[in-house]
Amino acid sequence: MSLENMNRLPNRPLYLTCCLSVFLTMLISGCNTTTDTELIKHPNVLFISLDDMNDWVEPLAGNDMTVTPNLDRFASQGVNFTRNYAPSPGCNPSRSATLTGLHTTSSGMYSNYQEWRNVPELQSVQTIGQHFKSAGYFTAGAGKIFHYGQVDTLGWDDYYPSILNPMPEDDFPEESPANMPPFQYMYNMFDWGPLDITDEETADFETVSYITDQLERDHDKPFFLAAGIYRPHLPWHVPQEYFDRFPLEDIKRPAILENDLDDLGPVAKELIVRGGNYHKHVVEAGEWEKGIQGYLASISYADAMVGHLLDALENSPYADNTIVVIWSDHGWQLGEKQHWRKFALWENVIRTVFMMQVPEGLEAMPDGSARGIATENLTSLLDIYPTLAELSNLSPRNDFDGQSLVGMLANPTEPTERAVITTYDYGSYSVRQGDWHYIRYIDDSEELYNLSQDPEEWYNLAQSPNHTDTKARLAEAIPDNPIDLPEESLIELMVHHVPPYRSKEYFFSEERQEWMKRFE
């Protein structure tokens, strides 16, 4: 432009100032913000993990006492996989399988009493965090993603409180109520009661605050943010306000069938008392209703933490380019079949929370996920990793044991046929297919339930000659050659630990029988 033409521009100093401002804005934007083009191909991911949350949440309609408005809100915005199942009913094997993409039978990672990094089949596997990081993502996490201290040190650019210390100390407050009386070989985890503190003083709030801070920052590349919310894991110690939502006089026990255990085999009956016979102690202490109250309060508290994360995302510049996943590692029982905790293969334990929302405009899914749809198609937590990998255009892996759900996210009501496997320790299996639930234990004892007719799993049909073909068909889904539990991966067992089933030989050994006598 000539000097003569420049002089014709009105308010030349203002014009130059505006040009400089636009240039600086573009420069800053290019340095600190991920481009729209890159986010179309590599979207952000908010990965929210819950702990021990069963189907009592409102989106799964497992209990009419539950209050979970934030999970309900999210279900109305994405796809709710209502028949989703965990790879294992234990935190460590379920999380390891979900985060590596390999089922327990493919890796040998079966128990809470293993160190996943010492499992040979997992030492070279690319975890979900490593995969996103290698693709150029900023990866940050907080709280319990892998099991307790077993953090994936190579998968994160940053972690709160730290890479080697993934869980805030306030997860286990020093001064907490003690409702349950102590009993043999039990520790203070199996307990519940309100705390006279605010949300801001809790550990999960620390975890959530770290992630919300990340959502307020400018990022120069796509991010994978993982929030590990610890509740409703035991102990059920949360602020008083959450207990107040569930008055004891309104608490209802689960439906129980007299003599429900009569048609169970020896391993199933052992699982009920394994580790301390919790149900007996709850009943004798008169704490059944209080225990249920504590669990409901902890679910409500966890839901509030989810709400903080969803609000932070909605108020951030990343709301329109971030995939959100919410999942729990497995479910829980509170007296059904006289069983408390997880560590079993019944429906209440293996069915778990899994919901996903995909924004519009992604290269891998231009129209985004369906909105507010609940699908009854069977899915597994193993499907999360391959689904996110496809949506985010990560380099392909051909060893996933799960399936990508990209097609189902677009058309969740289109029926699919599939069998989903859950493994408890070595050698015990659950197979879910259609209305049927088949269980085969390490000693070959069996259970078979038609959940459309018997949702409480009260009537074991395994010995009925009318269902021989059904059993055989479902059993075909059980792996023929599962990998053994590697001895070198076992941690040193403490006195209250229950040794995992490592093999059939070990299951029937005198060593295991002697150890189990301490829980009688």
Just list the catalytic residues.
91, 147
Residues in the chain: 520
Strand 333-334 and strand 340-341: the pairing is: antiparallel
Whole-number CA gyration radius for the chain: 25
C-alpha 325/C-alpha 223 separation (Å) is 14
**H helix intervals, 406-456:** 406-410
**H helix intervals, 124-273:** 128-134, 203-215, 240-244, 266-273
Amino acid (1-letter code) at residue 335: G
Q: In the sheet where 420-424 sits, what is the strand order?
A: 420-424, 428-433, 436-440, 446-450
Cα torsion angle, 472, 476, 477, 481, sign:
positive
Cα torsion angle, 514, 516, 517, 518, sign:
positive
Q: What share of the chain is helix, strand, coil (3-state, %, to 5)?
A: 35, 15, 45
- Find the distance separating the first CA and the last CA of the chain, reported in whole Å: 93
CB atoms within 10 A of CB 393: 15
